[in-house]
Structure 1
Amino acid sequence: MSDDRRPGSRLILDLLAYTAARLVLVAVVTALILGVGHLIGIREFPVVVALLFAMVIGLPLGIWLFAPLRRRANESIAVMDERRRRDKEQLQARLRGDEDSADS
């Protein structure tokens, strides 16, 4: 399986997907805020204010909406951490001259 050989690329893809989803959510909430403001008669609603409100609203909303993406990214991080820990242990064993390190 390619995920076992290239956990770094899987991690990058998972993090990019989660980040892109969060950014799209902020853009959609910003557009909704500006649209509602326009509908109720506020023609010159500052985009920066709408964007700040969207970020505040999008924080908890994104955690809830994108839980599967977040879990997948967390799993990829855990796989990468485990691989890094295993590689470090193998390197330390080789540096100590342990004969078991050749079997790993």
Structure 2
Amino acid sequence: MSDNSDNQTPGAGGRLVRDVVIYTFARIAVVVALTAVIYYVAKLIGISEFPLIVALLFAIVIALPLGIWILAPLRKRATASIALVDERRRREREQLQARLRGGPKKTD
């Protein structure tokens, strides 16, 4: 007895997963790129035995604030998708509670 008006945001869950996965991979890509840059710049300036783990740790520290700035559009899109899914779940929970109390059904 479910109609399509109960689910006004079809595919919002899929969009949420896609947006979060894209944002996560973008953050990882920033760390990988910075690691390569740090490692090869160290090699260029003459540090012959620069540990890769040190380059990775520096890249993680640098990527934290840099990713916030560079990846702002992706982060905002992921946050909006999360908010959309949360709103749908809140609305569905309210409708379920109203039905369990025997109140009137919402038709929006």
Normalised TM-score (structure 1): 0.92
| Relative contact order, higher structure (CA 8 A, sep 6+) | 2
Q: 2:22 aligns with which of 17, 20, 24?
A: 17
**Shift in CA distance, 69/37, structure 1 to aligned 2, threshold 3 Å:** same
> How many Å separate the matches in 2 of 1:83 and 1:44?
54
Aligned residues: 101
Give 1:1-104 correspondences, 5 Å limit.
4-98=9-103, 100-101=104-105, 103-104=107-108
Give the 4+ runs in structure 1 shifted more than 3 A: none
Higher relative helix content: 1
What do you get for the CA RMSD once the two structures are aligned? 1.3
The percent of aligned pairs where both chains have the same amino acid is 57
Q: Give ranges in structure 1 of 5+ residues lacking alignment.
A: none
Runs (5+) with no aligned partner, structure 2: 1-7
SS of corresponding position for 2:105: helix
TM-score, with length taken from structure 2: 0.89
